[in-house]
Amino acid sequence: MTEPVDQTPGVSGAAAPRRRRALAAVVAAGVLVAVAFTALGALQAYLYERVPFGVTVGGLSLAGDTAAGARAAVAHQLAARDLSSVVLQTREGPLTLTLADLGLAIDVGATARRAASHGRLDVFGLHPWYGVGGAIEPVLRFDSSAFQAGLQKIAAAAESAPRDATLRLVGDTVDVRPSSTGLAIDEASLEAQLVQALSSWRRFEGPLPLTAAQPAVDTDAARTAATQASTYLSTPLRLRFRAREIDLSPAQMAAMLSVSTGPGAATSPLTFDNPRGRATLLRLFAFIETPAVDATVVVKGKKVFIARSREGYGLDMARLLADMDYTASQPGLREVVVPMTTLEPTITTDQLLALGLDGLGSRFTTYYDQTNKPRAQNIMQAAKLVDGAVIKPGAVFSLNDTLGPRTVNRGFDYAPVIDNGVLRLGVGGGLCQFATTLFNAAFFAGLPIVERHPHDFFIDHYPIGRDAQVAYGSQDLRFANDTGHALLVRCWAGGGQVTVVLAGSTGRTVTYTTSPFYDMKPASTSRSHPRVITDDTLARGIIVYEQGFDGRTVKVVRTVKDGNRVRSTETFVSTYAPKDWIERIGTKG
């Protein structure tokens, strides 16, 4: 029988199987590579927004965690290991502080992001994982100012002040009271130990590191200076101001003298230039002090004028001390003529005139119930904090930034505030009335209003459509100074009224129109079927009713003119939600 012959050109019959096997091997390898790449792609896709494998924080695995899961795990470690506090052993016993007390914080979000980015490459904006795990140190935030403030809290329990060597006159002999070394917190060591402990996910518990605090004047320096003191204290030192003479006795001089520590200590080992010496001289010559008077902006009715500044006069303390040091070290006539110097005002008349503050921009007054003392206190505190604020040309005034947080320790009291459509006690109640007064002052000065929020519901004793509500951190009152010169805010409250004046003429006239109310929406409750709430500030059994109001909208259109030219026209839309009728039942008892 005749065998079939492979007719493929250039290929022998024996080579065909080898070709097929090679092709199969290539195909298999390709499939394996494709499978590997597919698996690797699936792995990278899975880890795209997850923590890679092998990554731990404080021994806890975060592998595969999402961003939220990683943050939760880091937060759990902080709580489980009590890393938010430190225990310092002091001479008065253990002292527990929070990390915040020492200006330290573990950034949970940043630590979670560090874990998620561990073992990744940056390839054209992509961040594939290359298979490396590891333990992650927490991301620490350090506030040096808060750290220093925290050290002040523990200094009394840990530190002892060094004592300088001093001189004293015992009879006719100059005696030296020896110096002593104190103890001070070793700040650098404490910071390093805290960081080391936290980086290991460990709460710091140990002795507070201390270092020796050396006195500024040691005993040897005082003994050296004592040899010169006999000259200083040999006879009284006379201080003469015009016809008046004051003789300092050697005992008085000894109490005022200290050992020099500055660059000139070698040639002038003793000096009167120290807190004791200065305080004594200020007391002895208080009768010649005439303080400088700053220029001020005075508002009388609708007129604004500047009360002029005046120079003052006082001791030329630096020259007097230098003259006393030199004269006391010399033999012979021991008399010092007390020199005077001019005291310049901090704010001069020319400065206020240059700021353009000798004119009236606007003035607005609202009235409040002064028998509600907490609310009145809040309004007066706001006026106190804002009074004197200078708004520079081009600047934007922020009421929230000026008032700061509403806290009791900043002078604010509990008074009714709007909370979920109901008046409840809150710190700072009544500030919206001050905000309303300030808004109207800016409104009638023709200044651009950058941010303003109407109240949640209509309040009938505020100007219709021209009220302003503020809440720290969310709702602000802001307006801009586009006049080209500075403006000064003057404000005062008392006797049931609060007034805000913007000093600095704007040269503008303001007219406005107020629309009728529209889009009226009835309240969901009524006088006969009110919304019932409990109130633990009212005595048990007391019932108080509050009137409801329909919701409504109103528009106020303001036109600002420079002379006869219209500068701007703005529309302020105020939409008020319905206010429920309220039956408030007291539960306090």
In a domain, 169, yes or no: no
Verify that 418 and 540 share a domain, yes or no.
yes
Window from 23-32, 148-157, 179-188 with minimum mean pLDDT: 23-32
Cross-strand partners of 213: 182
pLDDT confidence bin for 96, thresholds 50/70/90? confident
Percent of the chain with pLDDT over 90: 30
Grade residue 125 by pLDDT with cuts at 50, 70 and 90.
Answer: low
Q: How many domains does the chain have?
A: 3
Which residues neighbour 558 within 8 Å (Cβ) at sequence distance 6 or greater? 443, 510, 511, 512, 568, 569, 570, 571, 572
**The token pair that represents 463 in the structure block:** 């100007």
3-state secondary structure of 213: strand
Confidence band, pLDDT 50/70/90 cuts, at residue 567? very high
Q: Do 108 and 243 fall within a single domain?
A: no
* Of 289, 476, 491, the residue nearest 400 (C-alpha): 476
Residue 1 pLDDT class (50, 70, 90 cuts): very low
| pTM of the model as a whole | 0.53
Residue 374 and residue 336 in one domain: no
Q: Is 5 part of any domain?
A: no
Amino acid at 234: S
Dist. CA 439–CA 362, nearest whole Å:
11
The answer as to whether 453 is a domain residue is: yes
User: CA–CA separation, 69 vs 298, rounded Å?
Assistant: 61
Domain for residue 120, yes or no? yes
Least confident of 15-19, 319-323, 466-470: 15-19
408 touches 508 (CB < 8 A)? no
CB-CB contact of 576 with 551 (8 Å)? yes
Residues 229 and 366 in one domain: no
Dihedrals phi, psi of 435, to nearest 5 degrees: -60, -40
- Both 373 and 343 in one domain: the answer is no
pLDDT-wise least confident of 25-29, 65-69, 396-400, 401-405: 25-29
DSSP state of 249: P
Region 202-231 average pLDDT: 85
Q: Are residues 406 and 304 in the same domain?
A: no
Same domain for 105 and 82, yes or no, is yes
329-350 residue pLDDT tens: 887 778 999 999 999 988 888 8
pLDDT at 316 over 90: yes
Q: Are 174 and 229 in contact (CB under 8 A)?
A: yes
CATH number at residue 267: 3.10.20
Residue 28 lies inside a defined structural domain of this protein? no
Same domain, 560 and 446: yes
For 154, other C-beta atoms within 10 Å of its C-beta total: 19
Higher pLDDT, 189 or 53: 189
Q: Where are the beta strands (DSSP E) in 291-359?
A: 296-300, 303-307, 312-315, 335-337, 340-343
Task: Evaluate if residue 104 carries a pLDDT over 60.
Answer: yes
Average the pLDDT over each of 234-238, 298-302, 416-420 and give the range with the smallest value: 416-420
CA–CA gap between residue 21 and residue 137 (Å, rounded): 54
Q: Report the alpha-carbon distance of residue 378 to residue 370 in Å, rounded.
A: 11
- pLDDT band with cut points at 50, 70 and 90 for residue 323: very high
Residue with tokens 């033999």: 331
C-alpha 179/C-alpha 223 separation (Å) is: 11
Task: Give the residue carrying structure tokens 């002078």.
Answer: 411
For residues 144-160, give the mean pLDDT: 84
Please answer whether residues 572 and 555 qualify as being in contact, where contact means their C-beta atoms are separated by less than 8 angstroms: yes
Specify whether 409 is located in the same domain as 335. Answer: no
Residue 124's Cβ-count burial label (10 Å; 0-12, 13-18, 19+) is exposed
Residue 381, domain member (yes or no):
yes
User: What distance in Å separates the CA atoms of residue 445 and residue 332, rounded to the nearest whole number?
Assistant: 70
Confirm if 384 and 527 have CB atoms less than 8 A apart.
no
pLDDT band at 517 (very low <50, low <70, confident <90, very high): very high
Question: 2 pLDDT exceeds 60?
Answer: no
Same-domain status, 476 and 564 = yes
Q: Provide the residue type at 406 as one letter.
A: R
Structural domain boundaries, residue 393 = 355-588
Q: Which of 198-207, 351-360, 433-442 has the lowest mean pLDDT?
A: 351-360
Residue 124 has pLDDT above 80, yes or no: no
Q: Are 345 and 389 contained in the same domain?
A: no
pLDDT greater than 80 at residue 227? no
Q: What mean pLDDT, rounded, does the chain reach?
A: 84
Position 204 in a domain: no
Percent of the chain with pLDDT over 70: 90
Cβ 198 vs Cβ 142: under 8 Å:
no
Q: What residues form DSSP beta bridges with 270?
A: 259
**Predicted pLDDT of residue 366:** 93
Residue 127 clears pLDDT 70, i.e. is over it: no
Residue 151 domain flag: yes
Q: Average pLDDT in the 70-96 region? A: 83
Strand boundaries in 465-507, DSSP class E: 478-480, 487-494, 497-503
Q: What's phi and psi for 199, nearest 5 deg?
A: -65, -25
CB atoms within 10 A of CB 492: 15
- The pLDDT, as a whole number, for residue 560 is 95
Q: Of 71-85, 115-129, 407-421, 461-475, where does mean pLDDT reach its minimum?
A: 115-129
Pairing of strands 551-562, 518-521: antiparallel
Instruction: Verify that 325 and 359 share a domain, yes or no.
Output: no
